[in-house]
Structure 1
Amino acid sequence: MGRVHLFEWEDFSWFPKNLRDYGTDFLEFLAQKTGLFQPAVPILIKALKRLETNQIIDLASGGGGALPGLNKELQKEVPGLQITLSDYYPNLSAFKRISNEHANIAFKAESVDARAVPKDLKGLRTQFLSLHHFKPKDARAILQNAVDSHQGIAIFEGQERSVPSVLAMIFSPISLLLSTPFIRPFRWGRLLFTYLIPVVPLFVLWDGVVSSLRTYSLAEMKELIASLKDADHFEWEVAKVKSGPAKVLYLVGLPK
């Protein structure tokens, strides 16, 4: 099945910030509780040691992403690890909470475009559950910017373009309804727009299904790499690894 780049509600600048934050909070909560990105730990450790850096610059962090849940394990192998969260639409309440909980996690309060990362943000760039938001031209720009800046990049997707993945997304509103009372920080608005006016379950359902439909396959990731200028200045790895019943697709590029 070919990639279909439909819209996701959270991509629109006019989409209400509180609703976007409720959605990204849910994804962050789910990633932590399920350990979806646990297989990323050895991949990240290997990359950080190869680059001889203890800095991670997380792009498109959403509600905090996977790194807070992986932080302790990463710190065991990477002394002095420092993580910086960023997003084009920063979820500042989530970023502040995570930064308060983890002394080594900071954040950028201003908008950060993954296609043109500020030069002062140096370190291994990471992305979790976000590459599919970008059309091929923009996904290529993300990779090209890493190559041009001579910064390593590691991208992870927690779904793939397949029938099982789409079916899992169809049932995501059930997970949302069950988990909402436990998501922190507590927000009355979260309850209102989840249970009484079910906007959040509907947009999570749509965005989840669309996420699967527009996830890049491994072959398409390799095509993006092949189209880059000076791609041969980097070492690339594109692969898939199991994470419980799910699959994690990843792309890693490190300067030679």
Structure 2
Amino acid sequence: MESLPRIDFVELHDLDRTPAVLRTLHTESIVTIYRLTDAARAYSVPLSIALREGASHRIVDLCAGSGGPVPLIQRKLHREGIHTQVTLTDLVPNVRAFQRVQAAHRRRLPNCCSVDYVSSSVDATDCTVEGTRTIYGAFHHFPPALASRMLQNAVDTRSPMVVVDTKRSFLYVLLFPFLITLAVLLSAPFQRNPLSRYLLRLALTYLVPVLPFMMFFDSVVSFLRMYGRAELRRMVDGLAGTETFTWKIGVVPGFTGAQYLIGIPRD
């Protein structure tokens, strides 16, 4: 599937007309799926590589949604003796979700590492927050011009960059949307939300299955929008000053098909 052109279509939760509460339910479901799968193990590998090669342990997570997988990754790295400080950011920050993530972190790791957040809008293509930038499961949302601008901003500010998405594969297009939708259907009763949103989640999952349809549709589109490794290579080769960074592109072995792009400033 690497040889096929990337299809840049629109996901439903990206539409301006999508209600904010539905977008929140969507991103919260994604966080739940991260917890139910082996994503933290696979997704921690590229960040671990970057940290071993000199990237800052201050992590600036871009497009963090409702918290994303980075807090899970932080705990995984902590168990391996790697300690980090995480700052969650987003263009439209879900401050309440960030606060819940922060509180949960304090209960689990009260004396080590940290999680904080930026409550104002942070543009991933023009970021000024210092640290190692990560973007998990969201890079494909950016068309090539904006994706290149994000990487160029990292180069211009000499900020290490870790991009993790799923590799583009027929298997994932055909299989993963069904698994993701099944996870949404099974996990809805167990998600902890304020009562009003919990009831709304149940209604939009079982009575009028808007959320499962949205997850299925967006999953199919997501896998078609993923960048291939050759496309990522062309993207970094076209950056001004790309020779001042060391770039690595690869795939973590395993079920998740986690594909990564790592950029580390050279001394």
Q: Does the TM-score normalized on the shorter chain lie above 0.5?
A: yes
The unaligned stretches of length 5 or more in structure 1 are: none
For residue 122 of structure 1, the aligned residue among 130, 134, 142 is: 130
Give the structure 1 partner of residue 91 of structure 2. 88
Give the structure 2 partner of residue 217 of structure 1. 228
Q: Percent identity?
A: 33
Looking at structure 1, the residues matched to 34 and 229 of structure 2 have their Cα atoms a distance apart, in angstroms, of 22
Structure 1 residue ranges (4+ consecutive) displaced by more than 6 angstroms after TM superposition: none
Pair 1:12-2:23 in alignment: no
Pair 1:165-2:176 in alignment: no
Q: CA deviation at 1:49?
A: 4.0
Task: Report the TM-score, using the length of structure 2 for normalisation.
Answer: 0.89
Amino acid at match of 1:169: F
For residue 81 of structure 2, the aligned residue among 77, 81, 106 is: 77
Residues 185-194 or 142-151, more deviating: 185-194
Counting matched residue pairs gives: 251
Deviations 1:71-130 (A, max 9, x none): 223234334x2101111222223211101111311111222111011x2x1111001100
1:1-256 matched pairs, under 5 angstroms = 1-51=4-54, 53-75=56-78, 76-79=80-83, 81-103=84-106, 104-117=114-127, 119=128, 121-157=129-165, 159-171=166-178, 172-186=180-194, 187-243=198-254, 245-256=255-266
Residues 69-78 or 133-142, more deviating: 69-78
* 68 and 247 in structure 1: CA distance in 2 versus 1, 3 angstrom threshold: same
Amino acid at match of 1:200: L
Looking at structure 1, the residues matched to 235 and 61 of structure 2 have their Cα atoms a distance apart, in angstroms, of 20
Q: CA deviation at 1:52?
A: 5.5
Whether the 8 Å CA contact 1:225–1:231 is kept in 2: the answer is yes
The residue matched to 2:252 in structure 1 has which SS? strand
The unaligned stretches of length 5 or more in structure 2 are: 107-113
Amino acid at match of 1:197: V
Deviations 1:23-74 (A, max 9, x none): 1111111112212241232432332243363200000111211111122232
Looking at structure 2, the residues matched to 39 and 206 of structure 1 have their Cα atoms a distance apart, in angstroms, of 24
Q: CA deviation at 1:223?
A: 0.8
Looking at structure 2, the residues matched to 78 and 173 of structure 1 have their Cα atoms a distance apart, in angstroms, of 34
Deviations 1:121-159 (A, max 9, x none): 1111001100110100010011001000110000101x3
The residue matched to 1:102 in structure 2 has which SS? helix
Deviations 1:171-226 (A, max 9, x none): 12222111111222252111111111211111111110000001000111111101
Looking at structure 2, the residues matched to 204 and 60 of structure 1 have their Cα atoms a distance apart, in angstroms, of 18
Cα RMSD after superposing both structures: 1.5
The residue matched to 2:253 in structure 1 has which SS? strand
Looking at structure 2, the residues matched to 174 and 43 of structure 1 have their Cα atoms a distance apart, in angstroms, of 28
